[in-house]
Structure 1
């Protein structure tokens, strides 16, 4: 049987070739899981600047000098420090050779030593990810997630969004911005974003947080730290002058080929008026107009969130595949 070696990856001490190889495997795995790419060079820069660093490992099959075939990253959940969130990817050429199992064994050992008692991860439903995850004792599925895609290179999708935007909603106006929110809207934008946690299962994926002006500016800086372009479309209530519905997307520094559609939220008193559909359609058109290299946008939606799934269908999103948010106890003496 081929020997698998697992070593910690310390970005600032790693050989440039090893860091580049680690980032390439991670980037490919992330794209397979989420539908959106991460540029390996941008990822490497982020890892070198990260404070404090996450725990990371690299696995090789055979000789220690062989290329990296598997990678893992573990960091504590901000809202649950004793719960670690794991990202583990194995290059297709290295699968079914014990690389993933060796990585997972090392991660569990390190998680226990770091005081974590649970681990969470997102895996693709079906093989190879789900059967591998289910080898963990007492694994449970927390959420069923759908990865959806909106093809901006398909005429019918663009036409559908144009039809929706062409029918303005009385009492509201659309506002777009790239980067930081306008000072006049930063407070109300934060209030809308505080309702992201209203979505089914959202509390399992993110922590409650403050959304005052300072917190919004910190969030904006984090969203753009790796060079991504932050795009926001908001519906502003004409009477109050406040943002009452928003949708958020990011575009890679290269301007393509896939945009990440993040959060969409509407304050409770303005729901069921078509605002979410309106801002998402307008956002898609703005991305299509400003970034010709963006061919698609991807979005992750809880399978139980029927309202957002209906909104996404209305603006041209279609199911790509399903993912599972799973959790297992850390069995470490």
Structure 2
């Protein structure tokens, strides 16, 4: 018998179903990312209150009335609403029974209805993730990623202090929480435009346009799930403009997420990525004492960033594939 798939509305679902859905989701996210973005109870409260951001969600059951054993969530990408990002998790005891396939079919149909032309997700290298990727002839692997975790222990913090305190001639380090200060918004946008063109990456996108309006919209989206935004930056002392930045989000969980680190091309190979990331680790530790570690994914072909992470005591946790499916009808 095929599993039962249904849309999932956390605002009206029963307490037991909400607890089951969030438990499967956070367990899956923890397995994939090395740490759930928030405890299941916090996620449930945000979902119930409508504070988890814009998304479409589904649940899978063995049949109507049975417990939820599979979940899916579709969100538009922060940088391009034409690209959907899928998170899909099935409990260990319910895998290989068609729930993942049926959930993905429901997501694809909704993504098309919303005008999306591509669907992306990440899967762990090896089984069962790669088997799931191979289940569709339209999926292609974009990037092989390494998941790194930086434990904020004493030795790591000492290393970060050493790097952050090393003078970078012509630059000064700063940070902010939440929205970028208005005088820095335009230059921060110019830096973020270069996230996709790091040397050596497999899926180089080239610089994208990031004006101040786009920066503000990006800030809103990365914090719409209740996360706190922390940005570390390097400023050119001559212009007092942002030339390098790294971005993290922090929830009430013990693991913070580091997202993008970028340096303007004219300022690369001057140690700025190491310094802003070292300073960021110190700031997260000081501002959020409950955070025990920071995780980040890195394109394994980006040798420069891999070296930066090794120097700051990041550890390899796992490898993942970023995969994409075109949504044109076949």
TM-score (norm 2): 0.86
8 Å Cα contact 2:152/2:281 also seen in 1 = yes
Deviates more, 1:105-114 or 1:312-321: 105-114
Q: Provide closer, same or farther for how the CA distance between residues 194 and 30 of structure 1 changes in structure 2, counting only shifts above 3 A.
A: same
Tell me what 1:131 maps to.
131
Among residues 306, 315, 318, which one is paired with 1:318 in the alignment?
Answer: 315
Distance 1:46 1:109 in 2: 23
Give the distance between the partners of 2:245 and 2:235, measured in 1 at CA.
Answer: 9
**Shift of the alpha carbon at 1:231?**
1.2
Q: Secondary structure at the match of 2:194?
A: helix
1:57-109 CA distances to partner (integer Å, 9 max, x unpaired)? 21111x4211100012235556373x543221101232233322332344445
Which of 302, 318, 333 matches 2:299?
Answer: 302
The 2-side partners of 1:117 and 1:242 are apart by 36
- 2:154 is the counterpart of 1:158: no
Q: CA deviation at 1:237?
A: 1.6
Matched length: 325
1:47–1:120 distance in 2 versus 1, CA, 3 Å: farther
Distance of aligned partners of 1:251 and 1:76 in 2 relative to their CA distance in 1, 3 Å threshold? closer
Alignment partner of 1:170 is 2:166 = no
Shift of the 139–49 alpha-carbon distance from structure 1 to 2, 3 Å rule, reads: same
1:99 aligns with 2:96: no
The gaps in structure 2 that reach 5 residues or longer are none
The separation in 2 between residues aligned to 1:251 and 1:52, in whole angstroms, is 15
- Name the structure 2 match of 1:241: 240
In the other structure, the counterpart of 1:144 is: 144
In the TM superposition, residue 331 of structure 1 has moved relative to its aligned partner by 8.5
Secondary structure class of the residue paired with 2:17:
helix
Q: TM-score, normalised by structure 1?
A: 0.85
* 2:271 paired with 1:274: yes
**2:184: which partner in 1?**
185
Q: Which runs of 5+ in 1 are unaligned?
A: none
- In 2, are the aligned partners of 1:124 and 1:323 still within 8 Å (CA)? yes
| Match of residue 223 from structure 1 | 222
